[in-house]
Chain A
Amino acid sequence: MYDFGGQVVLVTGAASGIGRATAERFHSEGASVVLADRNLEGVQSVAQELGGDRTHCLEFDAIDRDSCIGMVRSAVEHFGKLDVLCNIAGIAGGWRLEDMPPEDWHRMIDINLNSLFHITQAAIPALVESRGNVVNMSSASGKQGQPYGTCYCASKAGVIGFSKAVAAEFASRGVRSNAICPGGVKTPIYDNYTFPDNAEMDLIDRMRSLPGFGEAEVSDITAMILFLASDEARFITGVAFEVDGGQLNL
C-alpha cells in the first residue's frame, strides 16, 4: 500500500509484539529495516522469516545509555542513513505506590523514557540529514490514570512530552516527531501484565470493561505508525495519536 523503497527504518523492540509487527510491515512495504532488541535471537528469527534481505539485526539494552548510542551508530552505519526511528521497546507492570521498590521505578523509567533520550539524541543528526521522522510508543496510559500504574503512566506521559518537544525543536529542520497511544493490545506485554497482590480488582475491571479495551490488533497499531511515518502525514507533527477504539472518550 505504501512505497517505502529506499528508506531505512530503525525499530526498537522488534523481537516481539508491536515492534515485531512494525518491522514486518515496513519491510513488506519496501523499507530496509534495522531490528533492535534486547533479545537478539528474537530479532534474528524475525529477520530470517523476512528472508534476510533489507534487514539488519542489533542487540542492545535500552536500560544502558552506551548500549543505546552504540546501537544507533551501528544502525546508521549499516545502511548509511536513517529515515524513520520507531521507539517501541518497553516494559509494563503494576505496583502499589506504597510498595513500589525504587529500583523497579528507575528500571521502568530508564527503559520506557530515558532510552528515548539516548536513542533520539544519537539518531537526530541522521534524521536531520534525511529530513526523517520519529514515531514513539506511548500508551492510553500516557493520557489517563490507571490504578497501580504510577510508574507506567508517568513513563508513557513522559514519552508524549518528549515527543512533542522534539517536534517543536526540530520541525524547522525538517524532522517530524509523533507519539502513538494504544489501548490494550494482546501481545506478551499485555498478557504478562502483573497486578499487585490484593489489588482492588473493581478498579481494574472498570478500566478493562471500557469499550474497545484489549480489542486492538497489532496491525491496527502498525497501520498508524506507517501512516505517521509516511509522506501522507508530512504536515502532522507533535501529535499523540489514540488507537483505542474510543476508550479514552468515556
Chain B
Amino acid sequence: MSSSPPQAGKAAYDFNGVHVLVTGGTAGIGLATATLFAKSGARVTITGTREDAERYPEQDLSPFEYRQLVLTDREQITAFCSSIDDLDVLVNNAGGTGGTETPYSFEESVQVNLNAVWQLCQGLLPQLQASQLPPGASIVNIASEMSLFASPWFPGYGAAKAGVVQLTKTLAAQHGASGLRCNAVLPGSIPTKMTHQFAEDPDIHEAVCQRTPQRRWGEPAEIGSAVLFLASAEASFVNGHTLVVDGGYSITDA
C-alpha cells in the first residue's frame, strides 16, 4: 500500500491523509523533506520568513501550503500555533546560524534554534495529541553536528542544538505514554543556503570530505529520508532517539 512503486533499495511510504508541518520548508533540508513527504501522499504545510510563497521565485513551492513564520517573533509563533487546525507530524527544521554578514547573537540563536522549537512543540501539542494517525503522531527535530562538537564560530547555535537533543529526549519521556513520539535527526555537512559559504570554499569543502569517512558532503534528501522513516509506522517504537546521518563524521566522538 504505497503511493508510488519502490525503487531499488528505497522505501515507498504511504503518508496519504497525513498532515505534516515542516518549518523552514523553503530551502535546503526542509524543502527536500517537504518534497519527499508530498511525494508520499502527505498534505504538507511549510513555513518561511517571507510574507508569501510568491516571494520565493527561486523555488517551486506549489505542492505545499505556505505560511509565514519568523522564529524570533514569539507572538507570531503563538498565533501560528492556534491557527493550525490539525497536525500529525511536526518537523522542527527552521533554524540556522543567521546570515554570513550578520550571524545571530547568542540570545537570538538560542531563541531561533531552541526556544522556538519548545514553543512550537508546546503550542501544537493539542493538535498532535488529537491526531488519529495509527502509529501515533510524532515530532522530528533537526539537531546538528554542533549538538556534539564545540562550535567556536557560533557558540549560541551549538548550545541551542545541544539543547534540542536533550529537549527531544524530554518530550519523548513526557509524551511517550500518550503515543506521541519525539525523535531528532542529526545531519552532517549538507550544502544548503546556510552552509554555502563553506561548501563553496574549496579548502573547507575538502576538509569536510577528508574528515568524513564516506569522503563527501551529504544531500538534503538524505536527511529527509531519515525524517520520513522516523515519522512512519516503521519507527513506531523509536522514541527519544537522535539519528545521526553524517557519513560517519562523528564515529570517533559520538
Give the interface of A toward B (CB within 8 A). Answer: 1-7, 164, 167-168, 171-172, 211-212, 215-217, 220, 223-224, 226-227, 230-239, 241-246, 248-250
Most B-side CB within 10 Å, residue of A6, A242, A250: A242
Q: Are A235 and B214 in contact (CB under 8 A)?
A: yes
Q: Are A230 and B237 in contact (CB under 8 A)?
A: no
Cα of A4 to Cα of B6 in the assembled complex, Å: 9
Q: Are A3 and B172 in contact (CB under 8 A)?
A: no
Q: Are B176 and A238 in contact (CB under 8 A)?
A: no
Q: Are A243 and B237 in contact (CB under 8 A)?
A: yes
Q: Are B10 and A231 in contact (CB under 8 A)?
A: yes
Q: Which residues of B contact A235 (CB under 8 A)?
A: 188, 214, 218-219, 222-223, 245-247
Please name 21 pairs of A and B residues whose Cβ atoms are closer than 8 Å in the assembled complex, sorted by A.
A1-B2, A2-B11, A3-B5, A3-B7, A4-B8, A168-B251, A171-B212, A172-B215, A212-B176, A226-B234, A227-B11, A227-B235, A232-B229, A235-B188, A236-B244, A237-B251, A238-B213, A241-B241, A246-B172, A246-B173, A249-B173
Cα of A6 to Cα of B251 in the assembled complex, Å: 30
Of A4, A6, A237, the residue contacting B248 (CB under 8 A) is A237
Q: Are A167 and B241 in contact (CB under 8 A)?
A: no
Q: Are B229 and A164 in contact (CB under 8 A)?
A: no
Q: Are A220 and B247 in contact (CB under 8 A)?
A: no
Q: Which residues of B contact A6 (CB under 8 A)?
A: 8
Kindly list the 5 A-B residue pairs having the minimum CB-CB distance in the complex, ordered from nearest. Answer: A171-B213, A231-B9, A238-B251, A220-B237, A246-B239
Q: Are A223 and B235 in contact (CB under 8 A)?
A: yes
Residues of B204-248 contacting chain A, CB below 8 A? 212-215, 218-219, 222-223, 225-226, 228-229, 234-241, 243-248
1/0 contact string of B1-44 vs chain A (CB within 8 Å): 01001111111110000000000000000000000000000000
- Least distance between B244 CB and chain A CB atoms (Å): 5
CB contact under 8 A between A172 and B214, given known A232-B229, A234-B222, A245-B237: yes
- Least distance between B143 CB and chain A CB atoms (Å): 13
Cα of A223 to Cα of B233 in the assembled complex, Å: 9
Given contacts A168-B213, A216-B237, A223-B235, 7 further A-B contacts (CB under 8 A): A5-B8, A164-B251, A168-B252, A227-B11, A232-B229, A235-B223, A250-B173
CB contact under 8 A between A230 and B172, given known A1-B6, A172-B214: no
B residues contacting the other copy or chain, number (CB 8 A): 46
Cα of A217 to Cα of B13 in the assembled complex, Å: 20
Q: Which residues of B contact A217 (CB under 8 A)?
A: 237
Cα of A229 to Cα of B11 in the assembled complex, Å: 11
Most A-side CB within 10 Å, residue of B13, B212, B213: B213
Smallest CB gap from B236: residue in A: A220
- Least distance between A183 CB and chain B CB atoms (Å): 9
CB contact under 8 A between A3 and B6, given known A211-B176, A235-B247, A236-B243: yes
Q: Are A239 and B9 in contact (CB under 8 A)?
A: no
Cα of A236 to Cα of B240 in the assembled complex, Å: 18
1/0 contact string of B60-81 vs chain A (CB within 8 Å): 0000000000000000000000
Q: Which residues of B contact A5 (CB under 8 A)?
A: 8
CB contact under 8 A between A167 and B235, given known A1-B11, A3-B8: no
Q: Which residues of A contact B176 (CB under 8 A)?
A: 211-212, 245-246
Q: Which residues of A contact B240 (CB under 8 A)?
A: 242, 246, 248-249
